[in-house]
Structure 1
């Protein structure tokens, strides 16, 4: 059960869904199609949203879209981008290479490069780049966790000509993201196999290297987790395990395990409002103060 389930529930009158194509309000300034990297003829771009009345540099929320590493677009997070710009943050959303363009670790390298672009140029857009958080859903959450936990690994850097220090990510929001590719779920997933360009039997090491859990230590950023218990794409066990590993490592975290909700559950207004309520408090704790 996934986005289709939610849309059927909406059609039957059971749920209100988030408007996924909201208009940008007058009070928000939009900067679109900013190129942060070029790979051959492929231009990788990001969009930025900031309050027009911003008086001083604001914390930064970087959104990473999902789509099983094979689809999706950076505009998918427009509702969150506008909502959080309205709350006083500067928000950004990034594109990265999909499987059709290049397999792992290309997407991870792109996200890392986008973050470093923001670190270098963010002050031009009112960003306080000492206060950055990553937010991702599904495959985007996987990339957020991988970069947030293991971003300094040489494997995840492609030296994208941005002279910048290591990214100091203060917090991560993980919306139903996969966390361990060595489990049976990932070994049997054609999406994971396509992303890694290998089966587990062919290259078990790459399955471990591409798993956020591999890089968990007491020093990784505080993490906020949201997961539905009937997610048919990313098993709830992936988030259950992440919460345990973070606890064992002494990493500050919160885990919201939403009973009876599927993948992409935050398309439902009820869940989206719930998630934003706890995201607001999480950002207040780890970014604002």
Structure 2
């Protein structure tokens, strides 16, 4: 990790782009802006690419719509929010999960949002990233009937940093979504911020956690340290913002991954104290977010279906033909996380080299 430089960043970016291209070719071959048919293990689904939910010329505020070829009237929907440590990532990383849900008869709105890569690290990303997710959810709720979706049957699902943004977007109960799921979501940002020894207090000996959060990912996102802007950290921590109106929530986290289990437990406990319907899925091992899809997907979907009041979908068989596309997408997500870490290290070195 200590030898990472900008040359490594460029090489890793090329690897991610190449792998994402393989994933897209496998699952979604077609031109940008087009509507296409995609084959799944359960038949074909329709994908509409690059739908703007913000300004038409803003590629960071676009989404893809995945739906069954013949959706049932008033079908349920997921709004998917990708991860990337608030610094990167794209909705293409969630194509595999969009493919899974649409093959189960659900409509999926797979969302992009601007990150610190576009917004900078001086505070411009807060609250712009969560505001973009809120705008996407608002657009989905408003346009749900145009896509055959019942407005009362929409769930919001976020991975990693996307789970953090999703939790904040749904916290006050006014977003219009009726259920929430967060996987490996940072929920208490103070506990993930390095203290004087540069060891985040929330990592508690978790090596993967220490390596990731010893870098200023949160400070880059918020534009300051907890000492400089404690109120901003509280405003940006889901554990501080959830309310009695937060929708029923499914939480997943692995036991020894880069986002410590304590983050998931803290959110679970906060929601439970408020009387919110909440379920915590503990995944053994060190996989992060989308990487444990085979372990958590068939737990999450029945939870969301029951809270939305729709029929439970038939479980996914992860030994079937969808497994190849899923594994490619997981690999892309892992490389994307590595790229985010590399960028953070390079930025940190640049700051140190610049001096005080």
Normalised-by-shorter TM-score class: 0.7 to 0.9
Q: Structure 2 residue aligned with 1:226, among 248, 252, 255?
A: 252
2:297 corresponds to: 276
Which residue is 2:176 aligned to?
A: 168
**Does residue 152 of structure 2 align to residue 130 of structure 1?**
yes
TM score, norm. by length of structure 2: 0.67
Counterparts of residues 177-196 of structure 1 (less than 5 Å) = 177-185=185-193, 188=200, 189=213, 190-196=216-222
**Shift of residue 279, structure 1, vs aligned partner:** 1.4
C-alpha distance in 2 between matches for 1:254 and 1:218: 15
Tell whether the 8 Å contact from 1:50 to 1:126 is kept in structure 2 after alignment: no
Bigger proportion of residues as strand? 1
Q: Is the 8 Å Cα contact of residues 180 and 186 (structure 1) preserved in structure 2? A: no
Look at both structures and tell me which one has the larger radius of gyration over its CA atoms: 2
Which 5+ residue runs of structure 2 have no aligned equivalent?
Answer: 1-21, 28-37, 120-124, 201-212, 311-356
Instruction: Say whether residues 1:117 and 2:143 are aligned partners.
Output: no
Q: Which moved more, 1:116-125 or 1:181-190?
A: 181-190
State the alpha-carbon separation in 2 of the partners of residues 223 and 36 from structure 1: 25
Aligned to 1:11: none
C-alpha deviation, 1:40, in angstroms: 8.1
Q: Which has the higher helix share?
A: 2
Distance 2:278 2:114 in 1: 29
**TM-score normalised per structure 1:** 0.81
Distance apart, 1:39 and its partner CA = 8.9
Structure 1 gap segments, 5+ residues each: 1-18, 152-165
Task: Note if contact 2:283-2:296 (Cα within 8 Å) is conserved in structure 1.
Answer: no
Measure how far apart 1:42 and its partner are.
5.4
Partner of 2:46: helix, strand, or coil? strand
Counterpart in the other structure of 1:80:
97
**What number of residue pairs does the alignment pair up?**
253
1:141-152 aligned within 5 A: 141-150=163-172
SS in 2 for 1:118: helix
1:256 positional shift: 1.2
Query: Secondary structure of the equivalent of 1:101?
Result: helix
Structure-2 separation of matches of 1:66 and 1:184: 16
Corresponding position: 1:104 with 2:104: no
1:91 match: 108
Alignment check: 8 A CA contact 2:75 2:105 kept = yes
* CA shift in 2, pair 1:55/1:247, >3 Å: closer
The answer to whether the Cα contact below 8 Å between 1:119 and 1:129 also exists between their aligned partners in 2 is: yes
Q: Do the aligned partners of residues 36 and 198 (structure 1) sit closer, same or farther apart at CA in structure 2, a change above 3 Å counting?
A: same
Q: CA deviation at 1:140?
A: 0.4
1:53 aligns with 2:79: no
